[in-house]
Amino acid sequence: MTAVDRHVHLRAGGVSLVLAVHDARLPVVVHWGADLGDLDDAALAALERAVAPQPFGYPVDGPMPVSVLPEASTGWPGVRGVTGHRAGGAPTTRFVVTGLRVVDRDAPWSQALELTARDEAAGLGLDLVVEQARSGLVRLRAAVTNRADGVHDVAGVLPALPVPARATELLDLTGHQLRERSPQRLPFAHGRHERTGHRGRPGFDSAFLLCAGEQGFGARTGEVWGVHAAWSGDQRFVAERSYHGVRLLGAGEALAPGEVRLAPGETYTSPWTYATWGHGLDAASGRVHDWLRARPDHPAAPRPVVVNTWEAVTFDHTLSRLTALADAAAEVGAERFVLDDGWFGGRRDDRAGLGDWAVSPAVYPDGLWPLVDHVRALGMDFGLWVEPEMVNPDSDVARAHPEWILRAAGGRLPGPGRHQQVLNLADPGAYAHVLDGLDALLVEYPIASLKWDHNRELGEGGLPPDGRAAVHAQTHAVYRLLDELRARHPGLEVETCASGGGRVDLEILQRTDRVWASDSTDAHERVGIQRWTSLLVPPELLGAHVSSPVAPTSDRALPLDVRCAVALFGHLGIEWDLTEAAPAERARLAQWVAFYRERRGLLHSGRVVHADVPDPAYGLHGVVAHDGSQALYAWVCTASSDTWPPPAVPLPGLDAARTYRVTLDGPITTLEGVAARWGVPLGWVDDGGVELPGALLERVGLALPVLFADRVLLLRAEAVA
């Protein structure tokens, strides 16, 4: 066999990924980061020689290449890219490349490296794909095939990318229900930082985007590299640093023992591992946003203002109450009315009826048509809540088919979660039951959207009758179910929800049009939740609702303007019993809805930016048009500051060569807080605005008002020259 020896340079969107293949071994990353320009083969080879470390102190003599699927057979003692065994044997791999090509891809992709390899001793074949989007985003996926007799147990496939030594700090996310995606930082120290979850979904505490960067990197400062596991089941994230000078970031699926056992000829394909780089987190996340928006099936129509019924009525469904709510929703300018939990079977509370996907004749004797017709007559479309993967033991389907419920060891039922168990969607009967039930609803009623919930973690409830862990098969079944429903009903939108933000990843987003970031509608909490969810999710896909005056998840009371201003920077919705709102409140809310509808073209297409504000009490975020013509910012105070007044704050993302007029914007047209209370002036605001070059607004900044805690002010920057 002729040894494959080649350099591959993928370039797009200001990012270069240089890979080297020598002696037919798996590709090694020479460079991942800033665009290196157009380099020929000689220059790429010279670059590799220039950055190659001295082979000193390695476990083996000579070089120790660490590929994108790291192998112990090169001498590397750390995390391995492909793990498994054949009846206890062949625990390591030594893949030999048998084919390699670089191909052009259709938009939103640019180019891809496609590689095949074999390990004859282990009896494995490998297909590896490394793709780069036109935005500069990179993704990797590996398929492992059993090429020998007997069963091969796959323990894991973990694509990994190296980062340079200047990446000395890690950032990932954690959290819990009502406080999803809370950031945490730590030094990139020797050893392994691993975040693995076995919840049957990514979970509230998913690492989400595991980042390594230069010390103190922020939204606009410092180089940063990040990886994401695009998988809606159990995930694994790894950051590893060894004393050999190697720093790796890896992400993939977390497999349970025996979960994937390949018979001869069978293949396991890993989820996509996405990798992004940038100068600051805004640039790194912007590459993800740009890729998502360039997809041909990305939502293109204006994102409708949503009214969801849950916090307004919970399970107390009556036609008169819901039609009154719909009337109030139309009055404030809503465009979509979503009927939440409680419309089906015996579902009068959360203990019964789940899994019986037929309209309750006791609550809706004429079906949903009276409500649907009323909603549509008001000019709104109609949405419906479902939770297809779960079942109450107290339901018709559970009584008729107990064999469809996932079990624990020995066949026992696991402990209930939210009074629920999990339907085994890998079972053809259970799958057909759910598909047929949802399809019948979508055929009968003009349903524009489904809010698709997932309220129970699988935990140990992951054993089908064959006794093997079921998360892998369950996750693929959910994907098939979503794909089939959308194929049957073109134009159907789906929102992913999992007790809030428990299932948010880039693979579920290939099948959904919106994420419910959190069950918390408290605007104070939502500032952080939405900020960190936006690392991957652009505003038009991020559900953000205006709560009632007192948020039911926290009992925190906040002014209407604050609740609206926070929800503005997402896909705006309302989670409030508007029939109880005073006329003045509804009128003010209508102003905000109108403002959102006027500005959503910018909010849902522009580049998301954040200022690096050193005062933790304050934050500034916004959206800047890609052509630099305009921007909308929110100046947010969430706590009492130890500094009064705040220093000048940069307005990020503006065109340095253009001049902008900055004014207050939105329904909040006068200063709140200190200025209103004590009449303290702020020159440029009192003058009706200020005109300055974009370079000065970003580098020097602008003095912004002192605000009381939990207050928001909107600023508009419009190019005048």
- pLDDT given for residue 624 in this prediction: 98
- The catalytic position among 453, 522, 561, 710 is 453
- pLDDT given for residue 1 in this prediction: 39
User: Domain boundary residue among 258, 293, 328?
Assistant: 293
- Position 59 in a domain: yes
- Position 602 in a domain: no
Ranges under pLDDT 70 in the chain:
1-3, 461-463, 669-681
Query: What's the per-residue H, E or C state across 11-79?
Result: EECCEEEEEEECCCCCCEEEEEEECCCCCCHHHHHHHHHHHCCCCCCCCCCCCCCCECCCCHHHCCCCC
- pLDDT given for residue 669 in this prediction: 58
**Residue 349 main-chain phi, psi, to 5 deg:** -155, -170
Distance CA 456, CA 176 (A): 14
- pLDDT given for residue 718 in this prediction: 98
- pLDDT given for residue 6 in this prediction: 95
Distance CA 394, CA 419 (A): 9
- Position 275 in a domain: yes
* 519 given a catalytic annotation: yes
- Position 22 in a domain: yes
- Position 374 in a domain: no
* 3-state SS assignment for residue 600: helix
Distance CA 519, CA 525 (A): 11
Sort 675 into a burial class: Cβ within 10 Å, 0-12 / 13-18 / 19+: middle
Q: Is 296 left (phi over 0), alpha (psi -120 to 50) or beta?
A: alpha
- pLDDT given for residue 42 in this prediction: 97
Distance CA 687, CA 681 (A): 10
Q: Kindly give, in sequence order, each residue whose CB lies less than 8 Å from that of residue 44, ignoring residues fewer than 6 positions away.
A: 7, 9, 18, 20, 30
Domain that holds residue 663: 608-719
- Position 560 in a domain: no
- Provide the CATH number for the domain around residue 628: 2.60.40.1180
For residue 257, whether the previous peptide bond is cis, meaning omega lies within 30 degrees of 0, is no
- Provide the CATH number for the domain around residue 195: 2.70.98.60
- Position 334 in a domain: no
Sort 564 into a burial class: Cβ within 10 Å, 0-12 / 13-18 / 19+: buried
- pLDDT given for residue 687 in this prediction: 77
User: Domain boundary residue among 275, 293, 311?
Assistant: 293
Distance CA 85, CA 91 (A): 5
Cα 327 from chain centroid (whole Å): 34
- The catalytic position among 519, 561, 655, 710 is 519
Q: Kindly give, in sequence order, each residue whose CB lies less than 8 Å from that of residue 510, ignoring residues fewer than 6 positions away.
A: none
| Identity of the residue numbered 532 | W
- Position 367 in a domain: no
* 453 given a catalytic annotation: yes
Sort 322 into a burial class: Cβ within 10 Å, 0-12 / 13-18 / 19+: buried
- Name the DSSP letter for residue 617: T
Domain total in the chain = 2
| Identity of the residue numbered 639 | A
- Name the DSSP letter for residue 581: S
**Residue 249 main-chain phi, psi, to 5 deg:** -120, 130
The answer to whether 18 and 1 have CB atoms below 8 angstroms apart is no
User: Domain boundary residue among 235, 266, 293?
Assistant: 293
The b/e string for 167-180 (b: 16+ C-beta within 10 A; e otherwise) is: bbbbbbbbbebbbb
